[in-house]
Amino acid sequence: MPAGSVGTDDSSDWALFARIKSDAVRDLLNPARVRPCKLNLPPPPSSSTPVCSAAAVSSWTFPNPFTMSAMRVDAKVVMLGKESVGKTSLVERYVHHRFLVGPYQNTIGAAFVAKPIQVGEKVITLGIWDTAGSERYEAMSRIYYRGARAAIVCYDLTDSSSFQRARFWVKELQNCEEHCKIYLCATKNDLVEGDRSLRQIDYHDAQDFAEEIGAQHFETSSKTGNNVDELFQKVAEDYNSTAFQYMTEETGVDLGQKKDSYFYSCCHNN
């Protein structure tokens, strides 16, 4: 990561990042009315683009979110899991139907997308928060999952430690968000299908854990698209069901962005 970029250990850079994100974080503390600020930025960076410098961040502006056209979001969904498990790739595959190849750069803060899904005669709009997986930003991730109606807890089939981290997030959700429905999501299924020796988490062990916590279990591949649409479709269908809806206290969340728009965090790369 380039020297002086946001996300390094430089305290001044971190202070700048924290100040920029503070308004959005305060909004997130009220899950019934989330209005994230949209950064006045060029299109999302490619996977080969370096993270933003502190100087670049300081020049960004925040338009008044209350002047933007409002969109209703029915259910807040949060992506959780260890860094590099592929949370961002899942969202990219689902929303943009693409798989970006390039050097890995972790998410700082969170990225947001609102995605309408057809469920029977209804259209359910999911507000999906893609959170940072690094333990360094663990406290920030807790802010983003507050008030979530569904959590997709991800683990990498080729990394046994990521499954232990998934257990940690499940416990966090059970303790802090008892009304949040959990979905256990294995990533990088294409790798283990190609070479079974790479599999570090047995399917039956993961399935047993999912049954223990009352979660649906999906093995997915962002590269091939396997089970990605099915995962998010299930989230929407569950939200639409009577058993899931009775837990929802608010009738919706007002958000100021256009349909299918992706709100990138100030240092988010795929």
Residues near 169 by beta carbon (within 8 Å), at least 6 away in sequence: 80, 81, 151, 153
Q: How far apart are CA 22 and CA 29, in angstroms?
A: 11
Q: How far apart are CA 245 and CA 2, in angstroms?
A: 46
- Contact in structure between 217 and 154 (CB atoms under 8 Å): no
Question: Among 176, 162, 177, which Cα is nearest to 82's?
Answer: 162
Q: How far apart are CA 28 and CA 22, in angstroms?
A: 10
Q: Write a three-state SS string for 106-149.
A: CCCCEEEEEEEEEECCEEEEEEEEEECCCHHHHHHHHHHHCCCC
Q: How far apart are CA 177 and CA 149, in angstroms?
A: 9
Give exposure, 136-164, as e/b (b: 16+ Cβ within 10 Å). Answer: ebeebbebbbbbbbbbbbbbbbbbeebbe
Q: Write a three-state SS string for 174-199.
A: HHHCCCCEEEEEEECHHHHHHCHHHC
pLDDT per residue, tens digit, the chain (270 aa), is 444 443 444 444 444 444 444 444 444 444 444 444 444 444 444 444 333 334 433 333 333 333 333 557 889 999 999 999 999 999 999 999 999 887 666 766 678 899 999 999 899 999 999 988 766 666 666 777 888 999 999 999 999 999 999 999 999 999 999 889 999 999 999 999 989 999 999 999 999 999 999 999 999 999 999 999 999 999 999 999 854 555 555 444 444 444 444 444 444 444
Place of tokens 């139907």: 97
Question: Among 33, 28, 7, which Cα is nearest to 254's?
Answer: 33
What confidence score (pLDDT) does residue 71 get? 59
What confidence score (pLDDT) does residue 244 get? 55
Domains of the chain: 11-263 (3.40.50.300)
Three-state DSSP class for residue 217: strand
- Where do the H-state alpha helices sit in the chain? 11-28, 54-58, 87-96, 138-145, 160-176, 189-194, 203-213, 228-240, 242-245
